[in-house]
């Protein structure tokens, strides 16, 4: 770790992420700079520290990554040191409860033990962002202003999408509730985002796509379309999960994988499609083997790459194709053809009905356009 002095702007305050750095002779020559002087360099990865003495003891204290908060902390510390030099006794507020860092570590340990690895990584990343934006030492000191600064950091510094900002904010609120810090934000403080309507494929798009598939590819992506399974649910589908007219999402101890929210479910499939799948089963395949394995027999992590390759061959737009859109098409097709909401909710594995209702979108396509033309023909 290197400690470098910050570069101050014309207003006397630190320039964001810019420090004075002494370079090697070759770098000075390349930059055309005077080797006797340090050079202003930008370092996005750094954090700010206060460097001061208490008696003969040198102390460095981290004050986070936000340059404005770091500067405020510097001014506050300077005032304290000047007061102490004049004989004023500074009474520091006693710390209440554990430190913010230890609370985060304990919380993430629980998340890691109880949630899926991908969920843990999402929580860990969100708290990493929060720690970068918050200079508070103790969890009890976190307040509404810290959360507002956090939302601004996610938006402006991390440059995350509005939905991602909202998700990180929500996960951090969950952490603070766990740590006993409840109701520190108002309803209006939550970052907002536009709830986008789920996109689906039209029949002519699907026809072109499947026309470009090999038989093996057709079975894989028709399974996505006919089952509404998530990517990992399809990845860990075994021959034991296939019944004559349905497929089951189930726990896979062999692969250390379990369903989302640890809930198993069964989804009906066209009997002719299941028969085609079962007919393709290798003669030596065991019931616990994967239906759609990688070449070496393990889980295949390249379904999206395979989808994009087919799209390229078919002449369709690669930017308009992704795996979850097949799941959206499954849900919308079921709802538009009379399957009730509760049933589709169960097939999709949603914990609440609102998630399923997002797929109650108006019908579109050439058939609907023809209906509209006929509907208003008498007005012409």
**What percentage of the chain reaches a pLDDT higher than 90?**
57
Mean local confidence (pLDDT), 357-372: 72
Tell me the pLDDT of the chain averaged across its residues: 89
Phi and psi torsions of 256, nearest 5° = 55, 45
pLDDT of 378 above 70:
no
Cβ–Cβ under 8 Å, residues 90 and 84: yes
pLDDT band at 53 (very low <50, low <70, confident <90, very high): confident
Mean local confidence (pLDDT), 183-208: 91
pLDDT of 42 above 70:
yes
Hey, what long-range contacts does 165-169 have (CB within 8 A, 24 or more apart)? 165/191, 165/193, 166/190, 166/191, 166/192, 166/193, 167/122, 167/126, 168/125, 168/126, 168/129, 168/130
Enumerate the domain spans of the chain. Answer: 6-85, 100-189, 204-366
pLDDT 10s digits, 338-355? 999 999 999 999 988 988
- Cross-strand bridge partners of residue 293: 299
Calpha distance 288→285 (Å, rounded): 8
**Which CATH superfamily hosts domain 204-366?**
Intergrase catalytic core (1.10.443.10)
Q: Which CATH class is domain 100-189?
A: mainly alpha
Cβ–Cβ under 8 Å, residues 3 and 16: no
Mean local confidence (pLDDT), 97-104: 87
**Closest by alpha carbon to 74, among 132, 141, 14, 21?**
14
Question: Which pLDDT score, from 0 to 100, does residue 94 have?
Answer: 53
């Amino acid at each position: 770790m290197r400690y470098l002095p910050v570069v101050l702007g014309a207003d006397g305050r630190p320039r964001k992420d810019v420090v004075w750095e002494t370079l090697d002779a070759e770098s000075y020559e390349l930059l055309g700079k005077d080797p006797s002087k340090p050079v202003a360099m930008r370092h996005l990865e750094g954090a700010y520290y206060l460097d001061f003495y208490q008696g003969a003891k040198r102390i460095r204290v981290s004050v986070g990554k936000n340059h404005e908060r770091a500067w405020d902390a510097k001014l506050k510390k300077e005032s304290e040191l000047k007061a102490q030099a004049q004989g004023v006794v500074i009474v520091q507020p006693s710390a209440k409860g554990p430190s913010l860092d230890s609370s985060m570590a304990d919380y993430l340990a629980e998340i890691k033990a109880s949630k899926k690895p991908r969920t843990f990584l999402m929580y860990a990343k969100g708290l990493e962002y929060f720690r970068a934006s918050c200079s508070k030492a103790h969890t009890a000191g976190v307040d509404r202003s810290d959360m507002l600064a956090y939302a601004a950091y996610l938006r402006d510094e991390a440059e995350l999408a509005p939905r991602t900002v909202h998700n990180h904010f929500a996960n951090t609120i969950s952490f603070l509730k766990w740590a006993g810090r409840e109701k520190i934000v108002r309803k209006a403080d939550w970052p907002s985002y536009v709830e986008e309507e789920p996109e689906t494929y039209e029949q002519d798009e699907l026809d072109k796509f499947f026309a470009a598939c090999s038989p093996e590819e057709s079975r894989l992506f028709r399974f996505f379309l006919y089952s509404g399974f998530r990517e990992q649910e399809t990845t860990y589908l075994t021959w034991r999960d296939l019944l004559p007219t349905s497929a089951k999402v189930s726990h896979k101890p062999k692969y250390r994988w379990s369903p989302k929210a640890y809930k198993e479910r069964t989804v009906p499939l066209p009997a002719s499609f299941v028969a085609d799948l079962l007919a393709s089963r290798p003669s030596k395949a065991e019931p616990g083997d994967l239906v759609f394995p990688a070449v070496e027999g393990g889980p295949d992590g390249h379904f999206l790459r395979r989808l994009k390759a087919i799209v390229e061959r078919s002449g369709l737009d690669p930017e308009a194709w992704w795996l979850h859109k097949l799941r959206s098409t499954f849900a919308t097709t079921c709802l538009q053809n009379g399957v009730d909401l509760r049933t589709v909710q169960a097939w999709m594995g949603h914990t609440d009905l609102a998630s399923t209702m997002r797929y109650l979108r108006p019908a579109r396509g050439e058939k609907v356009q023809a209906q509209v033309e006929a509907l208003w023909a008498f007005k012409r």
